[in-house]
Amino acid sequence: MLNIVVCVKAVPDPKEACNIKIDPATKTLLRCDVPMVVNPLDKNAIEVALQLKEKTDVLITVLSMGPPEAGNIVKECLALGADRGILLSDPAFGGADTFATAFTLAKGIEKIGPCDLILCGMASSDGSTEWVGPQIATFLKVPVVTMVKEIVESDMPWWKVKASIDNGYRLMQVKLPAVFTVTREVNTPSALSFSGRASVTWEYPLNQWV
């Protein structure tokens, strides 16, 4: 069985961008007045996992770090077809930079247990740093391929992928376990339907992850 972890982030709904405010003291986003949605590029990452699941035996775990309200986006991913959902939530995470976010997610992945592939959106719509995926790979000491636009071969343990570069792409061969960050070119995400599958959401208190 191929074990895949998809890291997702709850971000302010881009349609409500005009209502987003910044806390003058902490310089962080005030999210309470804006609906939270799945980061758009993370939907592409989920779709990669779902398409792989159609071809082979795959266990998909969705992992997110955020406030309790982010549990709704984890549930949405479960409805799309993920098998397990985990939300890491604690007030101490408030205002975390990419380093702290990647460290927390990496520790969560270690707690989940051995996995073959970690998928992330290339960037988040509210940060666009493109750092979290590579930093997760650094903490886990596994290879990373950024800006993946196509999975060419997925024969264990060596995979071939196309990664975007200016005016073209590079063909990469990488041995799993690895981290891939994906672009919107990789697929068209599935829309949530009323027939979406329901699953159980796992939520762990912070002290079980340290």
Which pLDDT score, from 0 to 100, does residue 195 have? Answer: 53
Please name the residue ranges forming H helices in the chain. 40-55, 71-80, 98-112, 132-140
Distance of CA 26 to the CA centre of its chain: 25
pLDDT value at position 193? 61
Q: What is the pLDDT along the chain (210 residues), one digit of tens a residue?
A: 999 999 999 988 766 666 666 767 766 666 666 788 999 999 999 999 999 999 999 999 999 999 898 999 999 999 999 999 999 999 888 888 999 999 999 999 999 999 999 999 999 887 778 899 999 999 999 999 999 999 999 988 999 999 999 999 999 999 999 999 999 999 999 887 655 444 444 444 433 333
The answer as to CATH 3.40.50.620 being correct for domain 2-12+34-187 is yes
Domain positions in the chain:
2-12+34-187
Alpha carbon distance 119, 180 (integer Å): 5
Residue among 199, 148, 194 nearest 174 (CA): 148
| Strand-pair category, 144-154 with 117-121 | unpaired
